[in-house]
Amino acid sequence: MRILVVEDEKKTASFIRKALQAEGFAVDVCHSGDDALAATSATPFDGIVLDIMLPGRDGLSVLRQLRERRNATPVLLLSARGEVDERVEGLNTGADDYLPKPFVIAELVARVRALGRRGGENKSTILRIANFALDTVKHEAYREQTKIELTSREYLLLEYLMRSQGRICSRMAILEKVWSYDFDPGSNLVDVCIKRVREKIDDGFEPKLLHTVRGLGYVLKEPK
């Protein structure tokens, strides 16, 4: 599952992102309402964690815009205020759930999982390319009829590549999406993980799906 976290407090956003990644979610982060709207236009998400108190365009305005665009992605609202009127307005605007700050991270993770179940009622949870399938709810991968065992990081990498099918993903983009901004961009984390994933999904199978584009990055695609 890919989750968008919209939170202007960078420490809080990083805390949420790391907690969700530890539970196997792929996480993108935005720090403003305008960036969130741009991200949702470019990328399909399975759920959105949306802070109400954002600079400029606030969370309720973002939510209203999403629903006006007929974007039905489940949304969990966060707010430090917690007034009943604000909760009611958020739910009436189209939010699926509400969590006041400060929160216990285990509860936030549980509520995000519930968002995923709710969203899954309306769309397929299986990503496919050729004879490879990735189940984004069960976190399982299959090539033909063979189940492929993945670590949590390998799964996150594969989900990111699957959702970017046919597009070249740079090493920096993969570091940002699959790891975090805290890692040294000069490290070989991406290369090592790509090698392991390629061995698991391509060795012994046809067609080959994971390709290196020299000097640019990696792409998951079916050969023409």
Quote the Cα angle for 27-115-160, to 5°: 30
What one-character DSSP code corresponds to residue 101?
A: S
Instruction: Supply the pLDDT for residue 195.
Output: 96
DSSP letters spanning 106-132: HHHHHHHHHHHHHHHTSS--EEEETTE
In this structure, the number of other CB atoms found within 10 A of the CB of residue 31 comes to 16
- Looking at residue 40, its amino acid is T
In this structure, the number of other CB atoms found within 10 A of the CB of residue 122 comes to 9
Q: Do domains 2-120 and 126-220 have the same CATH topology?
A: no
Rounded Cα distance, 52 and 88, in Å: 13
Q: Which of the four CATH numbers 3.40.50.2300, 3.40.50.720, 3.20.20.70, 3.60.150.10 does domain 2-120 have?
A: 3.40.50.2300
CATH architecture label of 126-220:
Orthogonal Bundle (1.10)
User: Structural domain boundaries of the chain?
Assistant: 2-120, 126-220
Rounded Cα distance, 142 and 162, in Å: 13
Determine the length of the chain. 224
Sheet with 2-6, edge to edge strand ranges: 26-30, 2-6, 47-51, 75-79, 97-100
Residues of the chain with pLDDT under 70: 82-83, 118-125, 180-186
Q: Which pTM value belongs to this model?
A: 0.61
Cis peptide before 100 (omega within 30 of 0): no
CB–CB of 85/111 below 8 Å? no
Q: What are the E-state strand segments in the chain?
A: 2-6, 26-30, 47-51, 75-79, 97-100, 126-129, 132-135, 140-143, 146-148, 210-213, 217-220
pLDDT in tens, 101-144: 889 999 999 999 888 776 555 455 678 898 998 887 778 899 98
